Amino acid sequence: MTAPTPFGTRLAAAVADRGPLCAGIDPHAGLLTAWGLGDDLAGLERFALTATEALAPVCSVLKPQSAFFERFGSAGVAVLERVIATAREGGALVLLDVKRGDIGSTSQAYADAYLDPASPLAADAATVSPYLGFGSLSPFVETAQRHGAGLFVLALTSNPEGPEVQHARIAGAASVAGRMLDHLRALNADAAPHGSFGAVVGATIAEPAAEDGVDLDFGGPILAPGFGAQGGTVDDLRRIFGAAAARVLPSSSREILAAGPDPVALRDAAVRTTDALAGLA
């Protein structure tokens, strides 16, 4: 059996072809209302599939936020399954934003749900939380390696509560976030052009990661949420990521989705954002 192409390789090719933009598919109540849709299952389906069909052909990565689908129960999850399939049909990689983190058999069950191609929810990559200890992610890591999938591990998030944990110092004076990146560096060793195990670092954090003793040269991609409507700019990306900017996937949801419900306007918004990011690296 031929080994699957690693996520890191597929991601590098997609970014080279389409640019680094990661567009969020976030059907929260406010956006449904802004589109003139009801905050119900029909509105969810219309919103999510319209956005996915418009954006998948022009974006390298689409990032559905699972929670906004789960709130409608099993029928909402069925819409999420259709979003994943539609995104792939349009040529985009799918990063499922679930931020799961657990231990043992439960962690393995989550990994099977989101990374095993046999699952209708399987994506190219998923977001996970390491704050039960990085070793708790072993089932995710092993499942990703087996199926050529990827992970994006929470490291330095921009929410105000994050520093309480992420900036805390541990043995050897490293920060907790820095230790998480050390684990990713080991997983990505010798991968080219970069590894499949990425980190989440906010595009609106106050100071460059290096000033917290965090080395972003860990050999994997970086998901940078908060770009666009949440305040992150191209200049912020350069300031925060420096030489690592070439591996950054700026994530924008509201700023692009606000252009809907017209599919052409959605697509144009994504293309403009991609053009603005052209000089990032």
Active-site positions read 99
Fill in the amino acid letter for 94. V
CA 251 vs. chain centroid, Å, equals 7
CA distance 150 to 141: 8
CA distance 114 to 121: 6
With H, G, I as helix, E, B as strand and everything else as coil, classify residue 112: helix
Which residues is 100 bridged to in the sheet? 128
Cα 241 to the chain's mean position, in Å? Answer: 17
Cα–Cα distance, 254 to 203 (Å, whole number): 15
DSSP state of 136: G
Taking the CA of residue 141 as centre, how many other CA atoms within 13 Å lie in the half-sphere pointing to its CB?
Answer: 18
d(Cα 131, Cα 103) in Å, to the nearest integer? 11
Q: Are 10 and 44 in contact (CB under 8 A)?
A: no
